[in-house]
Amino acid sequence: MSQLQTVIQYIEKQEELHGKKTYQEEFIGFLKKYQIEYDERYVWD
């Protein structure tokens, strides 16, 4: 499979993938994945 096809498939599945997690869950997951320090008391203010 070409890289272009891989990217197209990834984009097409975004709605399905994002439908399983809330925005907050995805955002916290992003912070953890990239080891970004945060304080949950202030994340959503």
- pLDDT tens digits, one per residue of 23-40: 888 899 999 999 999 998
- What is the model's pLDDT at position 28? 93
What is the model's pTM?
Answer: 0.56
Q: Across the chain, what does the average pLDDT equal? A: 86
- What is the model's pLDDT at position 18? 66
d(CA 35, CA 37): 6
- What is the model's pLDDT at position 30? 92
Whether 44 has a pLDDT exceeding 70, the answer reads yes
With CA atoms as reference, report the closest residue to 9 among 22, 1, 21, 19.
1
Look at 4 and 20; give whichever has higher pLDDT: 4
d(CA 1, CA 3): 7
d(CA 39, CA 11): 31
